[in-house]
Structure 1
Amino acid sequence: MSSKILLLAVLFFTYQAKAQNADMEKALADAIDIQVGGTFGKPRVSPKVEKLGIAQVSIKFKTVSTAKLNISAKKQGLLGKSSAGSRTASSTAFLNFSDQEMGPQDYQEITNHFYYTLQRKLKENGIDTVAWSNIESTDFFKNAGDNANEFPKTESNDEDASVTYNAFRGGQISNGMGFAFLKMKSNSKMCDAIGAPTFFANIVLDFVDLDIQGGSSVRSSQGNSFGVGASTTASFSAKHNALADIVITNSSSLLSNNKEQAETWVVKSDIPAGVPYATAMEENEEKVKKKTVLQSLFHKSEALKRTPLVVTTTKENYKNAAKKAAENYATAIVGKFKVMKAG
């Protein structure tokens, strides 16, 4: 059973019995992996956090999502195995609202909701937080976060589309990875100014969980005794699965302190909302991007592509599920702090 399925099961039973909150918190915390620099590096910041400055909340809301899987085939030769080719399987989904589209105020509401939820949960578990007004008054925030006019940021191509919002319409200081030397120095001064480590949250919120399982087989013909006519034929297959669920995925946040120590908090397995939100999910031929005959000749993976999916929902359904996913991520963060402090 995959970690995603296990997590969904824990969420389901937790919603049925509140007494299992501790189990849910642990399962969610396990979805986060803390990475530090150096081969033998250990987290130095999180075990000592008594107060925290939530200096950034950035949420990338995906509206078109694509999953890909590279499938390789191997053939046996005299000197061992070698490549017999590869293909890429892919699956794309589009988000559709049946009543009305999400507006800027709706996305901003969800983003701010995560900030307030994380702040509340931290305080409930003994970790004080720094007021947002104190965060935005620091020199580092004013200088490094002066790109607020670039948001909301819309990104779009044939396979993915998203819009990114920041809490309280602020700028984006961190992309979730470590700072360069001078920026780390400035962040260290910020930590001194607010009297606490800083946490920069970067969240990718997807509307569908796409999964691809691939396989390959190789058929060889040795030809005659001189090897004439020898050939190798590889075939590829893909099984596509999709679940209409809001998930926190591929997210990376940064925790750092005034000693220039830092930790990258990576979501290693999807954190789901665990509540139904879609009213329909179906394949839609109209979303297929047509290719010319010449293009098709050079795109041998076309047969491994699934017909695009359209996930339909209402605005309120989406907002409620997105907030629930954000709440689960906040629970995961708090749970991880508790694990680190417990040693």
Structure 2
Amino acid sequence: MKQLLANRPWFALGAAFLGGALAVGLVWASVSIARPAPAATVAEPTAGASPVPSPSATAAQQDSVRPQPGAGCPRATIDVVSADELSSALIDAAPGDVIGLADGNYQGNFVATTSGTVDEPITLCGGTDSVLDGGDPMNGYVMHLDGAQYWNLVGFSVTNGQKGVMADGTVGSTIRALTVSTIGDEAIHLRRFSTDNTVADNIVFDTGLRKPKFGEGVYIGTADSNWCDISGCQPDRSDRNTVTGNSFSQTTSEAVDVKEGTSNGIVSHNTFDGSALSEADSWVDIKGNGWVIDSNTGTNSLRDGFQTHEILDGWGTDNIFRNNTAAVNGPGFGYSMTPELSNIVECNNTATGAAEGVMNVTCRAS
């Protein structure tokens, strides 16, 4: 063989070349096996822009590309991912529609004027990362139900407006599980004969950034000084509204302010932290008639925990306080009826840290 190689130099050269090629091939094969495949790059959708599906995709595939609203929302009939889409959906809404908000920032002031029905309300729903942003706590209503009845506003966040959610003339609507913060005046306001509505399970904080004296968490009705502007010079009978299960903190005025002219509502199972109060001296002030204030818990007030006031003759009476807990840590009462009239404070209410005592009236058995 040595003789053959010596006599055939071309044969030796070919063998060497073939062996080297085989070695290189094995090296590249091992590198290819050891190296993981590159990860696919997926663009994160935002509320300002939606992914563009392939022109050949089916309608169902195209819908699946769009971001979906929060898991707690009912199945959407209309999905929106931008402020323009939201505005259009509110204009075109019809009874039974469910408008689903994808996560993202929706810049603007949004208005609904179309009504649902008792059997087919209109729903606007999203997760807490779906943020309606008014852009300026000095101006505008972030979300306005303007004569729109039978709506459900559920789950999303509202921020940066003079008012967070304004309801004018709404009936049978629900404002539930919203996060409302960084607001110039009040967070949620029901007025102009808004009746039979529920404000439930919302988180409200950081109000009164424009004018602290208007920094309520929930405001029901209209002060008598504004009746001629808002309710045709008549009492604003925003009646039978329920405020329940909400959490209030960093409000500069009352967490719940119920105005003269309103009747027969409920304030129940809310929690209040009055540490930021500067323009009110209680968590709850009832100036209407026939309200039930039940099973609320408050801490830290400038003066009293719960109050009534008679702003006009015939108003601020027939209200019932029961099962409330007041850790006042202030110079007043847990429960102050001004005057007593026909208001009832049941003996199952408690108060601590109230310098003047539990209440300024004699309690009644439940």
- Where on the TM-score scale, by shorter chain, does this alignment land: which range? under 0.3
TM-score, with normalisation over the residues of structure 1? 0.17
Larger radius of gyration: 2
TM-score, with normalisation over the residues of structure 2? 0.17
